[in-house]
Amino acid sequence: MSKEDIVKRIEELREEIRHHEYCYYVLDSPEISDAEFDLLMRELEELEKEYPELITADSPTQRVGGEPLSAFEKVEHSTPVLSLSNSFSEGELRDFARRVYKLAGTGALDFVLEHKVDGLSAILKYEGGIFTSGATRGNGIVGEDITENIRTIRSVPLKLPESINLEIRGEIYISKKDFIRLNEERLDNEEEPFANPRNAAAGSVRQLDPRIAASRPLSMFAYDLVYVEGRNIRTHVEALEFLKEMGFKVNWYQKCTGIEEVIELCNEWAVKRDDLPFEIDGMVVKVNDFALREQLGATAKSPRWAIAYKFPAQQKTTVVKDIIISVGRTGALTPTAVLEPVQIAGSTISRATLHNEEEIKRKDIRIGDHVLLQKAGDVIPEVVKVIKEKRTGNEKPFIMPAECHVCGAEVVREKGEAVARCTNITGCPAQRREGILHFISRDAMNIDGVGPALIDQLLEKGLIEDYADLYALSFEDLLPLERMGEKSAENAVRAISESKERPLHNLVFALGIRHVGAGTARILASRYHSIEDLAAASTEELEAIEEIGPVIADSIVNFFSSEHNRQVIEKLSRHGVKMRAEKTAGEEDKSGFLAGKKFVFTGTLEKFTRSEAKEKVLSLGGQVSSSVSRNTDYLVAGESTGSKLDKARELGITILDEKGFMELLGEQE
Ligand code: AMP
Ligand code: ZN
């Protein structure tokens, strides 16, 4: 292929990938399979690896940026991000409408009703159609620069279909389903579960390492157009339709004439909200006409043309019939309350996790107690408190059993730990089962077509003992099992075999090392390049990695020192599971002249644009990050620099002016 053909092919691939990201993440209706999508992505990555000078910031391969930040930079908003005034009743909504009518000098007018999605707001800017920056709301005047984390959200376009300048606001959120899965994974990894999807989204967006944000299932709805150049948009409905055209994900909305229509719909949604795939904590009512909004203006705190309607709190009382225990992958015993089923806003609740023994003690929950139950953040039901007045004296305190109810092994709660564990690490069938389910899960080896029901049969029949045994299964092994047709047996065998080629970080995560979540696994994989090297790492060496503390380091060393684990890994390797990393486009090019060197730019350069300078560094094997940390090798400082320069001085980092930078580049010629 000529260079020209390559440029063309790269552009073609990018367009195609953008289209499929749009179908999948914005429209929720993929046109191709994941495998086909991966193929396109891989072709693009290969080409970009070969021609790093052709990498652009808007390429779909560039969603996960470089190095972790040491802190978020502050950004001042172009327009203050106000909060919304609240209303809690029909009466307050009517009062709002009356105020609007009076100020506008009209009768009934058009409102637009939207869901108040429970996430966190973000302000996004595009220049020439390219995503350039994203910020949190902060205090409304100054927010934090979370550009790199927003880039990882696949429903956020990095490039718009038109080359325009605009600014929008949106809500970053995590869907109910993804939230449950995320928390399950966290529990499995001994990480504190998030209280609700909003905390999970906020916690993810506030990660300094974009690779962690990338591993979280974040989405974004665009809900406001702040500014657009060269377009005459007069109403909110026009703005939302325009945002859709630009490829943003726009949520349900409804234009209503007059407030009574709004009220009717708010009441409907108070019930229907449970059927939505994401959480809402109310509705937002906005005046449709932009000219009218201007006329209405804002108070210091909130615009006069919009109001939030908050749904009433959702709590009910019920009875704890029993407290049961389940054994997790790492042996953790999790108590769950079995409840007298109750309806909370449309859904029936009969279970609530009690997390651990401490939690039960703290709330003094006993079997037989009447409790106040709440759908915290609307997803996981939570026992708020015991209604002690209703006690009869027959309630039974919960006692953590001394033996695992599955395998009979001793249960131990280590000092300083909240969690009690079954100590039979290699032999407990429950731990083994959970370990295998973890191995096949999405962020691990992602083995589609193999689910819990199949794993249970395989374990029962003695066809597998650990996850490595999956790779020895044949079509003939699977066919006689229940609910197995030829097709599904074939699919399962193929899916298992395909998973041998998963990237190293998937494997590191899949091994099920305590405290090693998907994000940590990525960090380890990019540092060690093979399971062998990781297994040989010492605690000191691991602790020297910024993100890795003593607990994780210990757990890793522990894991690899176990004879049983070594054997399972050996078995994986024998079955042909890929145990080392292939260099991918994002990784440093060791042969490059600037290999491993980390650059940060500040201020404006004369001879290059920022992105030209970045590409230059990337093409020579160097890395570019957006803020200065101890790991930075060079700060390239142009005109009118800011806080980065001070920081670099403080850390004693080599500072280059433009001339120095050019000399450095020139050295290789
Ligand atoms: P509050 O935090 O109560 O002042 O409410 C304002 C916040 O509601 C905004 O900052 C957004 O994060 C959030 N929000 C969620 N959905 C919408 C929406 N459709 N329109 C405006 N704000 C919304
Ligand atoms: Zn056990």
**Tell me, what's the pLDDT at 314?**
77
pLDDT of 583 strictly over 70: no
- 246 Cβ closer than 6 Å to some ligand 1 atom: no
CA 212 to ligand 2 centroid distance, Å: 32
- What's the token pair of residue 646? 């001070």
How many residues in total does the chain contain? 669
CB of 286 closer than 6 angstroms to any ligand 1 atom: no
Question: What pLDDT, on a 0 to 100 scale, did the predictor assign at position 661?
Answer: 87
Task: Note the pLDDT of residue 643.
Answer: 79
Q: Is 311 in the pocket of ligand 1 (CB under 6 A)?
A: no
pLDDT in tens, 321-341: 999 999 999 899 999 999 999
Q: How many DSSP H helices and E strands does the chain contain?
A: 24, 24
CB 117 less than 6 A from any atom of ligand 1: yes
What pLDDT digit, counting tens, does each position of 90-127 carry?
Answer: 999 999 999 999 999 988 899 999 999 999 999 999 99
* Ligand 1 midpoint to CA 285 (Å): 11
Confidence of residue 592 (pLDDT cuts 50, 70, 90): low
User: Confidence class of residue 586 from pLDDT cuts 50, 70 and 90?
Assistant: very low
More confident residue, 597 or 10: 10
Ligand 1 site, residue 123, Cβ cutoff 6 A:
no
CA–CA dist 293, 79 (Å, integer): 15
* Ligand 1 atom 16 nearest Cα: 116
Q: What is the pTM of this model?
A: 0.56
**Which atom of ligand 1 is the closest one to the Cα of 115?**
19
pLDDT at 30 over 80: yes
Q: Which of 3, 116, 310, 415 is catalytic?
A: 116
Is 116 assigned a catalytic role? yes
281 lines ligand 1 (CB under 6 A): no
Q: Which of 173, 269, 280, 284 maximizes ligand 1 atoms within 8 Å of its Cβ, making it the mutation to test the pocket?
A: 284
The answer to whether residue 205 scores a pLDDT higher than 80 is yes
Q: If DSSP codes are grouped into helix, strand and coil, which group holds residue 594?
A: coil
Which of the pair, 16 or 547, is modelled with greater confidence?
Answer: 16
- Nearest CA to 211 out of 67, 42, 71 is that of 67
pLDDT above 80 for 587: no
Cβ of residue 308 lying under 6 Å from some atom of ligand 1: yes
Confidence of residue 347 (pLDDT cuts 50, 70, 90): low
- 313 pLDDT exceeds 70? no
- Could you tell me if 569 and 467 are in contact, meaning their C-beta atoms sit under 8 angstroms apart? no
Q: Which residues pair with 655 in a beta bridge?
A: 635
Which SS3 state, helix, strand or coil, does residue 577 take?
Answer: coil
Percent of the chain with pLDDT over 90: 64
d(CA 522, CA 245): 35
Each residue's pLDDT tens digit, 494-510:
999 999 999 999 999 99
In angstroms, what is the span from residue 428 Cα to ligand 2's centroid?
Answer: 4
- 668 has a pLDDT exceeding 70: no
Stretch among 285-294, 501-510, 659-668 having the lowest mean pLDDT: 659-668
Q: Which residues line ion ligand 2, judged by CB < 5 Å?
A: 404, 406-407, 409, 422, 424, 428
Lowest mean pLDDT of 132-136, 191-195, 542-546, name the range.
191-195
Whole-number Å distance between alpha carbons of 25 and 155: 5
Contacts of 193 (CB under 8 A, 6+ apart): 183, 186, 187, 355
Q: Please give the radius of gyration of the chain, using alpha carbons only, rounded to the nearest integer.
A: 28
Q: Among 139, 171, 287, which residue has the most ligand 1 atoms within 8 Å of its CB, making it the best to mutate?
A: 171
Residue 288 has pLDDT above 70, yes or no: yes
Pocket flag, ligand 1, residue 171 (CB < 6 Å): yes
369: Cβ contacts below 8 Å, ≥ 6 apart:
319, 320, 386, 387, 390, 391, 395
Query: What's the pLDDT score for residue 610?
Result: 75
Q: Which of 89, 28, 630 is nearest to 278 (CA)?
A: 28
Kindly report the protein residue whose alpha carbon is nearest to atom 9 of ligand 1. Answer: 121
Beta bridge partners of 366: 397
Q: How far is the CA of 185 from the centre of ligand 1 (A)?
A: 29
Cα–Cα dist 414/333, whole Å: 13
Helices 563-574, 550-561: inter-axial angle, 10-degree rounding: 70
**391-449 pLDDT per residue, tens:** 999 999 999 999 999 999 999 998 888 889 999 988 899 999 999 999 999 889 999 88
Q: Ligand 2 centre from 330 Cα, in Å? A: 10
Cα(202)–Cα(114) distance, rounded to whole angstroms? 21
Closest listed ligand to the CA of 80: 1
* Average pLDDT along the chain: 90
Give the number of whichever ligand sits closest to the CA of residue 122. 1
Kind and range of the H or E run holding 534: helix 531-535
Average pLDDT over residues 36-61: 93
Mutate to test the pocket of ligand 1, among 84, 169, 288 (most ligand atoms within 8 A of CB): 84
Q: Using CA atoms, how far apart are residues 537 and 334, in angstroms rounded to an integer?
A: 32
